A and B are shown apart, each in its own frame.
Chain A
Amino acid sequence: MTKALVVYCHPSEQSLVAAVRDRVVTGLTAGGAEVRLTDLYADGFDPAFSASEWANHLEPGTDPSITSYADDLQWCDTLVLVYPTWWSGQPAMLKGWMDRVWVSGVAWTLPDGANRLRPGLRNVRRLVAVTTHGSSKFINMVEGESGKRTLTRSLRTMCHPLARTTWLALYGIDNASVDQRTAFLDRVERRLSRLA
């Protein structure tokens, strides 16, 4: 059975991204996955990597207050990030989850004298991003799709060597019609129900 961790990040329940989250969960469940949902804003997650975390960043494990986030990450085989793309990347809240949860002993290890991290999340075999962009696909291409690359390259290197990535994005949301939004939601649910 697929074990899916959905990490959702948006400050407002009225947003399209909140609707996307619901369809992601519906799709995953219909596909037979066991789903755990993390809502960073609702949790009041603190996204600031602290001075004490910095001082101990080579010690294994997260800050004691956020170990459950690390447990979820080590439990899942499918990681789904649901967020709006802002300034061509993940929102600060979600970036903070990466900075604080993907730490030594969870996402990687760094042997003495090495300057290359060893992957720690071999359990993760699929990475999925479902995101919305205010600007067009062309503008995002020129900007270099940094959020996409942070996920499919930087984070992926800590996962299973054969981990697959899936990118589901709605571009130009500022000018998108109701039909385009509906079609995107349908596409997301359909795709997430057929991940395996």
Chain B
Amino acid sequence: MLALIVVAHPSADSYCHALASRAEVGLVAAGHEVVVLDLYAQGVRVAMTAGERVAYHEESPIIDPLVAEHAALVKRAEALVFVYPTWWSSLPAILKGWIERVMVPGVGFVFDERTNKVRPGLGQMRHLVGISTYGSRRSYVRLVNDNGRRIITRALRMSCGLRVRTSWLGLHAIDTSTPAQRQGFLAQVEQKMAGLR
């Protein structure tokens, strides 16, 4: 299957990029085709534009060629792996914007004019995976809610079919974590991705 790794961190030498590389190693070892979308490195626009907002309700909602490229990959992918730092309990703006601009009508969902209801558009998706780092401790994340995780495992999941599986890997309290903990988490990510079927 095709697995898309979507990375959202501004620094190419970040721990998130290391996590994405290890996820890629694991997925390749499992025999999957892997494409990495490094949102910052590709210069992906963050916010939906006024033009895109208008197009959203029209025949062809995608007007940015880079978004069209990503949308074509999403339609073919059977696994979406998100790698990002959790900021303000949620997704970095660039990743939130990627979902808003790529998962438009015809990609993420279909708007049924007859019933005025939204139907899933990602029926082929088998795995939604989140790999995230947190400044806060696990107990604090639980208290304020892991809103980034909810956007992916609930809101985005609703756009997938019933057979989709979600999995989540998080490293908490990263500011006070030890090198051994960070190494261990990298190994855990690779191992988990190598087991994705």
Chain A residues with a Cβ under 8 A of chain B: 11-12, 15, 41, 46-51, 53-55, 86-93, 95-96, 98-99, 102, 110, 113-117, 134-135, 139, 142-144, 146-147, 149-150, 153-155, 157, 174-175
In the complex, chain B residues whose CB is within 8 Å of the CB of A175: 116
A113 contacts B143, C-beta separation under 8 Å: no
B40 contacts A95, C-beta separation under 8 Å: no
B91 contacts A95, C-beta separation under 8 Å: yes
In the complex, chain A residues whose CB is within 8 Å of the CB of B135: 115, 117
B46 contacts A93, C-beta separation under 8 Å: yes
B10 contacts A146, C-beta separation under 8 Å: no
**Residue total for B at the interface (Cβ-Cβ under 8 A):** 47
Interface assignment of B87: CB less than 8 Å from any CB of chain A: yes
B40 contacts A48, C-beta separation under 8 Å: yes
Closest-by-CB residue of B relative to A45 is B47
In the complex, chain B residues whose CB is within 8 Å of the CB of A87: 96, 99-100, 103, 151, 155-156
A153 contacts B89, C-beta separation under 8 Å: yes
A89 contacts B49, C-beta separation under 8 Å: no
B93 contacts A49, C-beta separation under 8 Å: yes
Taken together as a complex, chains A and B put the C-alpha atoms of A55 and B14 apart, in Å, by 10
Closest-by-CB residue of B relative to A95 is B93
B160 CB, min distance to chain A CBs, angstroms: 13
Taken together as a complex, chains A and B put the C-alpha atoms of A146 and B143 apart, in Å, by 13
Known pairs A95-B96, A115-B136, A115-B173; A55 contacts B11 (CB<8 A): yes
B154 contacts A12, C-beta separation under 8 Å: no
B88 contacts A98, C-beta separation under 8 Å: yes
In the complex, chain B residues whose CB is within 8 Å of the CB of A150: 88-90, 147
Interface residues of B in 130-167 (CB under 8 A from A): 135-137, 140, 143-145, 147-148, 150-151, 154-156, 158
B110 CB, min distance to chain A CBs, angstroms: 13
A99 contacts B88, C-beta separation under 8 Å: yes
Taken together as a complex, chains A and B put the C-alpha atoms of A98 and B145 apart, in Å, by 17
Interface assignment of B180: CB less than 8 Å from any CB of chain A: no
Closest-by-CB residue of B relative to A156 is B144
